[in-house]
Amino acid sequence: MVEKIGHIKNPLTVIAIFSAISEISGTTVLPFIASDNQGIYIWFLMLFPIFLVGTFFLTLNFNHRVLYAPSDYKDEKNFVNPYGKASPDEQGKKLRDEVEEIEAADSTVGSNSETESKEIKADADSVQNQFVQAMETTAARHRQLMADVTLAEKLAVNKLSKELSLDFKTDVRIDLPEVKRPAVYDALAINDNEIHAIEVKLFKAKHIDPSRFARVLEQSEQAAQHFKGFDPKNFILHIFAVIDSPEVEIDRLKNNLHIFVKRYKVKVKIHITTLNDLQNEYQYSP
């Protein structure tokens, strides 16, 4: 019969055992307490269960997920599902933010625009034509950046999924109680003892700013605390820098990223590759 008793890992089981032991032991020692103190002790025995039940229902109402262990799910991978998939609006906003970051960091955009404007001015017959052509050029560049960002994210997630042998769910959101804006990751997966989140950034400029990862690092600090109740799960953030510029020094970038992520209290693994290498690895040709 003893062999059937398994390892206790469910929070509800721990609460039940604690309550039973407290009440049984409390009642057992009652006769041995001085008569002057028995009245106070009896009040404690009556009020303690009420306090415990009240606390339990408050937890059940505001944060019921901490009362369940991943093993309580029929499939532990469904442990991720309650945190939800990012809505189309959230995915679109994240993609637009990525593109805006690249455009702000790309020092070549301004010079290219000036050259194109001069060519348009020389060939166009009117100011209106110049404006229309300039808008079309900007829109085409914007669409290409969106396509490059989407491609980089897809190939990077596939690469890590293969290397880690994990089934990643893409565009996962985690609601954080501390902030109004949820954390949206490019992908998230769970295995027996770890939670893996992926954030991919595409870099096209020669000078790369590691602070582009600042927001996701801050959110991951809170997300790690959010998952903390599910011991022994550990939260690991994989930041994946995809380079699309021949002028970037990979070793220097890796060193700068390692220095930058040390500011944050979250477990981070850094991955760096080029967009060409990813395309060649998956034999992808646009």
Please compute the mean of the pLDDT values over residues 148-164 and round it to a whole number. 92
The highest-confidence range among 8-22, 39-53, 255-269, by mean pLDDT, is 255-269
Strand order in the sheet with 234-243: 169-174, 183-190, 194-203, 234-243, 267-274
Lowest mean pLDDT among 74-83, 146-155, 181-190: 74-83
Is 197 in a helix, a strand, or coil? strand
The highest-confidence range among 6-20, 41-55, 143-157, 230-244, by mean pLDDT, is 143-157
Q: List Cα–Cα distances, 128 to 57, 111, 112, 133, in angstroms.
A: 67, 22, 20, 9
Which residues contact residue 120 at a Cβ distance below 8 angstroms, ignoring those fewer than 6 apart?
129, 130, 133, 134
- How far is Cα 70 from Cα 262, in angstroms, rounded to an integer? 30
Q: Which one is predicted more confidently, 227 or 85?
A: 85
Q: List Cα–Cα distances, 9 to 115, 119, 158, in angstroms.
A: 65, 69, 33
Read off the pLDDT band of 158 (50, 70, 90).
very high
Task: Quickly tell me which residue has 């969106």 as its tokens.
Answer: 146
Which amino acid is located at 174 in the chain? Answer: I
Is 236 in a helix, a strand, or coil? strand
At 256, list the tokens: 């700068």
Please compute the mean of the pLDDT values over residues 234-242 and round it to a whole number. 91
Question: What's the predicted TM-score (pTM) here?
Answer: 0.64
Strand ranges for the chain from DSSP E: 169-174, 183-190, 194-203, 234-243, 267-274
Lowest mean pLDDT among 63-77, 145-159, 232-246: 63-77
Average pLDDT over the chain reads 77
Lowest mean pLDDT among 17-21, 93-97, 197-201: 17-21
CB of 203 within 8 A of CB of 243? yes
Residue from 147, 105, 91 nearest 275 by CA = 147
At 31, list the tokens: 């006769």
- How far is Cα 124 from Cα 109, in angstroms, rounded to an integer? 22
